[in-house]
Structure 1
Amino acid sequence: MREIHPDVQAALDTSRELRHRVADMRERADRIFARRPSPSGLVIPEVDAMGRLRDLYLAPGTCARFDNQELAADIMAAIKESAADAKQQYNIAMNDPANLPRPLEEIMRERQARTEADQQVPNFGKAEQ
């Protein structure tokens, strides 16, 4: 069996690292949601980081207290505030220096230094000279 060239292995490792980073970012984003009450305090929506409505709580008797337009305005105000809060949480989580991974070039320099010290480039079946 032939060995994989170190540059090809480095490219494979880099693509694997990037896939893991994307998956980690998605998991972080999926954990973000906001629940901000409406101005009346009777409506509480749950909005995720992408601004999607996940759940909506209406206190008992809310529909009886408001007419259609007032209820819709109260619900929309709560959703807008929750979406803004979720967006802010998302920006903080994604830009937090503690969550930033090591630069890929640093990882590649370390890998290249190990490869140069430990291995010799394979000859891929060519006759040794």
Structure 2
Amino acid sequence: MNSTTDDRAVLSRVLDRWKSAVDAHEPQQVADCFTDDAIFQGLHPYCVGRPGIAEYYASQPPGMTAVYRILESRRLSDDLVLGHLGVDFSFTDRPTLNVYLGVVVKRAGRGWSISHYQVSRLG
């Protein structure tokens, strides 16, 4: 395995904040997990920046929750970590959606934030 404990810890700190905000249906707090210029590709057309990310999560149904698993991680540089994850999004009124998620987290003045986020459906 090419993942280090430190790389996984970096990813977990950022993704635990993301998950907590997703589960609480707090779109602005979700967006705050991202860099100002983050490239975001959910299951709708992509956006760049926190306002579009907050709008995306505001459109998600209340009661949606996320459970993630870090499958792989790579340290790209001192200030960048790549993560490949499996994520299960659960809903109150429909089946769970299983996806892959690729993220790049970046260290900046305020700590680590997501700078790139791309979801793909399993299947």
TM-score > 0.5 by shorter chain:
no
Higher helix share: 1
* Bin for the TM-score computed over the shorter chain: under 0.3
Q: Give TM-score scaled by structure 1 length.
A: 0.26
The structure whose Rg is larger is: 1
